[in-house]
Structure 1
Amino acid sequence: MIRLQKAQEPAVLTSNAETWKQEYLGAIAAGKKRSEIPARYRHATVKSAIAVEAFGKCIYCESKISHALFGDIEHIVPVSIDPSLVVDWTNLGYVCQLCNNHKRDYWDVNLPIINPFGEDPKDHLRFYGPWVTHKAASDRGQITVRVLGLNRTYLLERRKERLDRLTPLVDQVFSMPEGPAKAAMMKFLMEEASASAEYAATVSSYLEHQLVDVPVADETTAIRELDGSVQAPLQRSAESAPGPEISANTSNTDAE
């Protein structure tokens, strides 16, 4: 999990949010089930913008979302707790089905799951190899790891694969002489920890520790850039950036 910046609210949501909210609240008051109410927050333009701001990854586990691992629109505060937030832009996030199923309707105002849009996950989480653990004495970190299942087998295997691919390159850069080739290798490694890369928090932590002793002239700059790479703000709008293919399905079938 990395810190993310909320993109600009899509115009279609700005124009229709109040109408869609009242439609939802009215349906709930009339006794309808959520599955019977149109999921307006799944409008294709809204979902595309949400996917882009998350770099096409789950905002919680950082898995790249594809046709093989479908994406859901997550309500950070579940609508079962506060239905008035059903189409609130700041309450919507892009998640994989597994994280969505793990979280379901969890909400505790005194112990909420980390919100990567409103706070820095590094204040609560630590990354050791493929494992994610909570920072000492961070109840928020502990509940986030447990509720979301951030150490489930699939994630451990995928993170390990990422690190295993990078380890030979890290070993190589230590023995390379100064010059363009070494600089290019360092640049490549930095890009592997960028916000758009899969499991960026895991890779960033690994490289930050492994490269600290690399004898390069610009070592300090390189490590500083690495440390900040996963916190870089989104520099492009949802309209101009490419994103995953999004369907216009508005049926209401998510776990909340």
Structure 2
Amino acid sequence: MRLVTRTAKPGSLETNAAAWTKELMDLLQKGTAFDDIPKSLLNRYRKTDVQVSLRSMYQRKCCYCENLIGISDYEHIDHLKPKSLRQFHQLTFEWSNLHWSCQRCNQKKGNKWDDVNPILDPTVDDPEEHLEFDITTCKIRPKNGSLRGRTTIEHTNLNRESLVDARIKVRDKLRNIILRYKKAQSAEAKEMCEEDLLPYLQQSETISYTLLVRQILRQYGLL
């Protein structure tokens, strides 16, 4: 999980979100149950420009686990504050409540919500203040006992086995590059290692698990 800057509201939401929200809330006020609201209304936020904006904003990575998605996993538009909960119905089309998520995190999170210690919002909260890794196991844990960090880990199952295994591979690959860089004797060898390191240092779109990568780079004095 990493801090990102939310981009400008997509045109479809800028133009229509207020009217869509009014239509939804009018139906609810008339006694229609949320589960009975037509999907054709509830899913209006699934516009191409919304998808493109979220995909770009999160560099094609899940906002929670930072897995690259859209290749071996389905892309989901996630409502951080679950739209199915009564107190958040009005946020169904709210741009600030929409995020890019992988299928596993999205399904695990479901409609979970903690009013006291809510899940982190990566466009508002800096995850590095709440989360950290045990580099040995590559499991994520609350930083300094952060309760919001704990909520985030539990609600999206950020220590599932497949995810931990993938992090270990990234850790080992990065460590190998760093050790080669530090042992390089010639300018040519050092330059080759620097090229390999650059995507990690720049937090490239091709690099997953930014929080873990940054922690390892700091460990070796490279950040």
Q: TM-score scaled by structure 2? A: 0.88
* Matched AA of 2:150: Q
Aligned length: 213
Which residue, 58, 64, 71 being the options, matches 1:60? 64
**What corresponds to 1:121 in structure 2?**
127
In 2: Cα distance, 1:35 partner to 1:99 partner: 25
The Cα of 1:181 is off from its aligned counterpart by: 4.0
For the 8 Å contact 1:4–1:53, the answer to whether it is kept is yes
- Write the distance in 2 (CA, Å) between the matches of 1:34 and 1:97: 24
Pair 1:208 & 2:218 matched: yes
1:73-112, aligned counterparts within 5 Å?
Answer: 73-79=77-83, 80=85, 81-112=87-118
Name the amino acid aligned to 1:205: Q
Whether contact under 8 Å (2:177, 2:196) holds in the other structure is: no
> Structure 1 CA distance, aligned partners of 2:111 and 2:130?
22
CA distance in 1, matches of 2:180, 2:36: 55
What SS is found at the alignment partner of 1:147?
Answer: helix
The question of whether the paired residues in 1 share the 8 Å contact of 2:131 and 2:143 is answered with: yes
Report the Cα distance in structure 2 between the residues aligned to 1:181 and 1:149, rounded to whole angstroms. Answer: 40
| Structure ranking higher on relative contact order (CA contacts 8 Å, 6+ apart) | 1
Question: Whole-Å Cα distance in 2 between the matches of residues 124 and 206 of structure 1?
Answer: 17
AA at the equivalent of 1:24: L
Pair 1:42 & 2:46 matched? yes
- Residues in 2 aligned to 1:33 and 1:121: alpha-carbon distance in whole angstroms: 33
C-alpha distance in structure 2 between counterparts of 1:168 and 1:34, whole Å? 54
Q: Deviations for 1:64-108, whole angstroms, at most 9, x for unmatched residues? A: 111421011111111123111111110100011111111111122
- The percent of aligned pairs where both chains have the same amino acid is 27
Between the aligned partners of 1:34 and 1:155, the Cα distance in structure 2 is 36
Gaps in structure 2 of 5+ consecutive residues: none
Instruction: Tell whether the 8 Å contact from 2:11 to 2:49 is kept in structure 1 after alignment.
Output: no
Equivalent position amino acid for 1:41 in 2: Y
Q: Tell me how far 1:109 sits from its aligned partner.
A: 2.3
Cα offsets for 1:108-145 (capped at 9, x unmatched):
22210111110100111112222111112211111211
- Seen in structure 2, the aligned counterparts of structure 1 residues 23 and 37 have a Cα distance that, compared at 3 Å, is farther
Task: Write the distance in 2 (CA, Å) between the matches of 1:96 and 1:175.
Answer: 38
Superposition deviation, residue 199 in structure 1? 1.0
User: Displacement, 1:54?
Assistant: 0.6
Whole-Å separation in 2 of the counterparts to 1:108 and 1:88: 20
Letter in 1 for 2:68: K
Query: RMSD in angstroms over aligned alpha carbons?
Result: 1.9
Report the counterpart of residue 131 of structure 1 in structure 2. 139
- 1:159 matched to 2:167: yes
CA–CA distance in structure 2, aligned partners of residues 147 and 33 of structure 1: 22
Change (3 A) 1:33 1:44: same
Gaps of 5+ in 1: 213-222, 227-256
